[in-house]
Structure 1
Amino acid sequence: MNPIDELRAARPAHLGDTPVDERTRAAELSYAMSRPRSARRKRRTVRPVWGFSLVGAAAAATAVAVVVSGTGGTTPRAPDAALATVTSSTPKVKLSARDILLTAAAKAARRPAGTGAYWHTVSVQRTLFAVEGADYRVMDQQRYEGWAPSAIGGEMWASTKPLGARPVTAADEKAWKQAGSPAEIPVKVPGKPRPMTLSTSPRKAFTDHSPLIDGDKVLWLGRNVTMKDLRGLPSDPAKLKAWLLRSYEGHGTESNGYAMTADAWLFNLGSGLITDMPVTPQVRGAAFRMLADLDTVDVIENVTDAEGRQGTAVAVKSHTKYSGVVETRLIFDQATGRGLANESVLVKPDGVQSAFEPGTVWSSQAVLEAGWTDSKPSS
Structure 2
Amino acid sequence: MSVQHDVMRTLAEARPARLDPGHDARRVDPSDIMSHSRAAVAGGAHRRTRRWALAVGVPAVAAAAVFVGVGGFDEASRTASREEGTHADGRTGTTNTDRPPTSSRELFLAAADRNLAAAATGGRYWALKAEHGEARTKGPANRPYDIMIRRYTEEWQPVRAGDATVVAGQYLGAAPITDADKAAWQADGAPTRWTESAPGMDPVVIDAAAEPKYARPIQDATREATYPLGGATVTVAQLAALPTDPAALKTALLALFRQQGVTEPDDYALFWTGAHLVSDLPVPTQLRAASYRMLADVTGVTLLGPATDQHGRAGVAVGYTRTGDEGRRSQTRLIIDPKTGQALAQESWDVAAQKLTGYTLILTAIFTDETPPTDLPTRPARQ
Whether the 8 Å contact between 2:331 and 2:348 is mirrored in structure 1 is yes
Which residue of 2 is the match for residue 178 of structure 1? 187
| Pairing 1:117–2:136 present | no
Distance in 2, matches of 1:197 and 1:132, equals 15
Task: Measure how far apart 1:130 and its partner are.
Answer: 0.6
Distance in 2, matches of 1:15 and 1:156, equals 12
Whether the 8 Å contact between 1:250 and 1:262 is mirrored in structure 2 is no
Which residue of 2 is the match for residue 206 of structure 1? 214
- Equivalent residue in structure 2 for 1:224, among 233, 238, 241: 233
Q: Tell me the secondary structure at the aligned position of residue 175 of structure 1.
A: helix
Q: How many residues align?
A: 298
Change (3 A) 1:192 1:200: farther
Whether the 8 Å contact between 1:274 and 1:287 is mirrored in structure 2 is yes
Q: Tell me the secondary structure at the aligned position of residue 288 of structure 2.
A: helix
Gap runs ≥5 in structure 2: 1-26, 38-56, 75-99, 379-383
| Pairing 1:344–2:348 present | yes
Q: Tell me the secondary structure at the aligned position of residue 159 of structure 1.
A: strand
Which residue of 2 is the match for residue 298 of structure 1? 302
Which residue of 1 is the match for residue 170 of structure 2? 161
Q: Tell me the secondary structure at the aligned position of residue 336 of structure 1.
A: coil
Q: Tell me the secondary structure at the aligned position of residue 311 of structure 2.
A: coil
Which residue of 2 is the match for residue 263 of structure 1? 267
Whether the 8 Å contact between 2:58 and 2:167 is mirrored in structure 1 is no
Deviations 1:201-260 (A, max 9, x none): 10122334545695323322233322223333321111222222232039887xxxxx41
Provide TM-score, normalisation by structure 1. Answer: 0.69
Task: Measure how far apart 1:276 and its partner are.
Answer: 2.0
Task: Measure how far apart 1:151 and its partner are.
Answer: 4.0
Which residue of 1 is the match for residue 285 of structure 2? 281
Whether the 8 Å contact between 2:139 and 2:188 is mirrored in structure 1 is no
How do residues 67-106 of structure 1 correspond to structure 2 at under 5 angstroms?
95-106=102-113
In terms of fraction of residues, the more helix-rich structure is 2
RMSD: 3.2
Q: Tell me the secondary structure at the aligned position of residue 279 of structure 1.
A: coil
Greater CA drift, 210-219 or 290-299: 210-219
Which residue of 1 is the match for residue 324 of structure 2? 320
Which residue of 1 is the match for residue 246 of structure 2? 237
Change (3 A) 1:312 1:268: same
2:148 maps to a residue whose letter is M
How do residues 364-375 of structure 1 correspond to structure 2 at under 5 angstroms?
364-375=359-370
Which residue of 2 is the match for residue 8 of structure 1? 36
1:147 maps to a residue whose letter is W
Change (3 A) 1:25 1:329: farther
- Higher RCO, 1 or 2 (CA under 8 Å, sep at least 6)? 1
Which residue of 2 is the match for residue 360 of structure 1? 355
- Equivalent residue in structure 2 for 1:17, among 65, 72, 77: 65
Deviations 1:262-301 (A, max 9, x none): 1111111111111122112211110010001111211111
Whether the 8 Å contact between 1:2 and 1:321 is mirrored in structure 2 is no
Which residue of 1 is the match for residue 43 of structure 2? none
Change (3 A) 1:247 1:152: farther
Change (3 A) 1:252 1:151: farther
Which protein shows a greater Rg? Answer: 2
Change (3 A) 1:317 1:196: farther
| Pairing 1:331–2:335 present | yes
Change (3 A) 1:231 1:114: farther
Task: Measure how far apart 1:104 and its partner are.
Answer: 1.7
Change (3 A) 1:322 1:22: farther
- Equivalent residue in structure 2 for 1:108, among 98, 112, 115: 115
| Pairing 1:127–2:155 present | no
Deviations 1:18-62 (A, max 9, x none): 552334249xxxxxxxxxxxxxxxxxxxxxxxxxxxxxxxxxxxx
Whether the 8 Å contact between 1:161 and 1:203 is mirrored in structure 2 is yes
Change (3 A) 1:22 1:11: farther
Task: Measure how far apart 1:322 and its partner are.
Answer: 7.5
Whether the 8 Å contact between 1:329 and 1:342 is mirrored in structure 2 is yes
Q: Tell me the secondary structure at the aligned position of residue 125 of structure 1.
A: strand
| Pairing 1:215–2:195 present | no
Gap runs ≥5 in structure 1: 27-92, 254-258, 349-357
Change (3 A) 1:94 1:218: closer
1:233 maps to a residue whose letter is L
Which residue of 1 is the match for residue 49 of structure 2? none
Change (3 A) 1:273 1:2: closer
Change (3 A) 1:97 1:170: closer
Change (3 A) 1:225 1:95: same
Whether the 8 Å contact between 1:157 and 1:210 is mirrored in structure 2 is yes
